[in-house]
Amino acid sequence: MAPSRKRRASAEKRRPSVFWPLAAIVVPLVSLFAKIEISGGEHLPEEGPYVLAPSHYSEIDPLVVAVATWRLGRAPSFMAKESLFRVPVLGWALRATGMVPVARAGSASSARQTIQTAEGLLASGRGVIVYPEGTLTRDPDLWPMRGKTGAVRVALVGGLPVIPMATWGVQQIMPRYGKLSLWPLRKRVKVLLGAPVDLSAYAGQAGHQSALVQATDVVMARIADLTGELRGETPPAERWNPHDHGQRETGRLDS
C-alpha cells in the first residue's frame, strides 16, 4: 500500500475556525502515542460533501480518524446522538465544531432530520463521519460487525459518496473496553481508505428499509475487506450479529 500523496487543504480547513486551536492540541497529542500511516487518501474528496464510514473497535479510534481526516485536508465532523446537543457546554462545543445531530432511530424526527442533514452537507460542501456500526464492534476478533442504516440513509438522500475506511493498531493503545496503554510511544496505526462504494443500485430508495439494509451490507463488506487488507487476513464470510448472541447494542445511531 503506497502512502497517500500530499493533498491541498480544503476551503473548510483553510478558513479560520474552532478547528484550528483544537488541531493544534489534538494532532501533536495523538502523534505522541500513534504513528498514523495513511493509504488511499486520494479517495477522500478534496472539496465537497461526503460520508466517511470507518470501522470502530476502540473507544479512541475516533481520535485517529479525526487526525487522519485533518491530515487529508478536511475538517472532521462526526454524527453524534441528538441528546448530547442538549447538554450544557457540551452541546455548544458539538455545534461549534460542526458535529451533526442524529435522532433516535424510529423517532418522529428521524426521517426529517436525515433530509435536513443531507441538505446541510450539500449546501455547506462539508463531509460527515458516520460509524455505520453505531457502536464498538462486538465481534470477538474485532472484525466489523453488522451495520446500521444511518450512513447510507444520509448518503442516498443527498446523493453523497460513501467512503469506506478501516484502521488497525489502535487496539494496542486502547483495547476495546480496556485501559489506555501509552508506552511505548508512537505505536504504529494503519489507516486505509477505499474508493467510494457503488450504491447506484439503491438510488432513490432511501425510504425503503430493505434497500437500506442491503446497501449497508455492501458498505460493511467493503470496510471488512479493507480491514482484512490491513491485517493480512481474510474477513469472516458473515458479519457478527449481536442479537444472535444475546448482546445488547448500546450507543447505536440508527437501526
Cβ atoms of 149 and 205 closer than 8 Å: no
Q: What is the pLDDT of residue 158?
A: 86
Give the pTM.
Answer: 0.87
Q: What is the pLDDT of residue 255?
A: 44
Amino acid at 143: W
Q: What is the pLDDT of residue 252?
A: 47
Bridging pattern class, strands 187-193 and 127-129: unpaired
Buried b (16+ CB within 10 A) or exposed e, 61-77: bbbbbbbbbbbbbbbbb
Q: What is the pLDDT of residue 45?
A: 93
* β-bridge mates for residue 186, sequence order: none
Q: Which residues of the chain have pLDDT under 70?
A: 1-6, 16, 83-85, 87-94, 97-98, 103-113, 246, 248-255
C-alpha 151/C-alpha 253 separation (Å) is 9
Distance (Å) of CA 21 to CA 7, 84, 128, 136: 21, 22, 20, 29
